[in-house]
Structure 1
Amino acid sequence: MEKILKAVDEFASRMKEKGYDGAFLAGAGYPGKLKECLLDYIEQAALGKEKGIKDGISLSTYLRWRGSDQDHIQARMLLRLVGEKFGVEKMSLAFGNTQGKIRELDLDLYGKPVPTRAEAIAAIDPQKPKKKKGYRL
């Protein structure tokens, strides 16, 4: 259990460095910052109330949220314990608005580093350069 707790600490600090510092949900519950969310999930798994970490842990968070009436970007990740480290195996990004999802993007991250929060946002929502409005004389 001590190895798992160390892996949670290391993973939470790695993700925070990459900009993932908002609220998370683990397994569709246990809201909070990443570390406390994972620890709550693992505690419930140890008590037999959750499926455990053998098959992976589903994490979700909003990468961009400006209110319910604005566009938003949500990330869902499949987290696995490999050896003594947690790693993100898959990441699904969803860009949506009040009408629902506009587009989705699935990233296979097996053996690859997790993109930074800014890189993930740019992958699903590439900003087009705005044209400058000129005045005609």
Structure 2
Amino acid sequence: MKQLYDLEMFAKTLTDKGYDGYFHTEAAYADKLKDSINGFLEACEKGTDKPMLPNILLLKTYLQWNGDDKPKVECNMWVKYENGSFDVQEMDIERTDRYGQLLKQSKLTNLTTGSVPTVKEAIAQVSEKPKEQTVSRKRGFRM
């Protein structure tokens, strides 16, 4: 059975897994996770914004950022929202180069908030494994 989380527990669970950076909720409201979602929900109550998909929120964040001239890892989460309860449904993790070209991608489906990987595990899914370097051997005889 899937456990639904209120906003406080949802934010705490993801923060404990390392998702402690800034988020965009529905491509706006840049802030920490809880504040970003709160900002979006307040705008919905006022009638100034609405979700792109009914009962689904799109959250976007960077998992790894080392500057504009380095590759970066982005994460998109599709979160089910019903009656004040939240639960992660899907997650896309993308590693792109400095020009925005996709290097590697991972799509996770049938998730729950409890089964979301930690930030380190998510980054590892799209990271390049370091190539083993062999030590060059000098050829010939030594005297």
- The TM-score range, normalised by the shorter chain, is 0.7 to 0.9
Q: Does 1:92 align with 2:92?
A: yes
The alpha carbon displacement at 1:128 in A equals 2.5
Q: Name the residue aligned to 2:12.
A: 13
Structure-2-length-normalised TM-score: 0.81
Moved over 4 A (4+): 132-137
Structure 1 unaligned segments of length 5 or more: list them: 1-5
Alignment of 1:48-63 (within 5 A): 48-52=47-51, 54-63=54-63
Q: Name the residue aligned to 1:3.
A: none
Q: Name the residue aligned to 1:116.
A: 118
Answer yes or no: is the 8 Å Cα contact 2:56–2:81 preserved in 1.
Answer: yes
CA displacement, residues 66-124 of structure 1 (integer Å, 9 cap, x when unaligned): 00000100000101125663111010111101232222221103346111111101111
Q: Name the residue aligned to 1:105.
A: 106
* Counterpart AA for 2:50: K
**Identical aligned pairs, as a percentage?**
27
Answer yes or no: is the 8 Å Cα contact 2:92–2:106 preserved in 1.
Answer: yes
1:134–1:110 Cα change, 3 Å: same
Q: Rg larger in 1 or in 2?
A: 2
1:32–1:135 Cα change, 3 Å: farther
Q: Higher mean Cα deviation, 51-60 or 84-93?
A: 51-60
Structure 2 unaligned segments of length 5 or more: list them: none
Q: Higher mean Cα deviation, 95-104 or 10-19?
A: 95-104
Answer yes or no: is the 8 Å Cα contact 2:57–2:80 preserved in 1.
Answer: yes
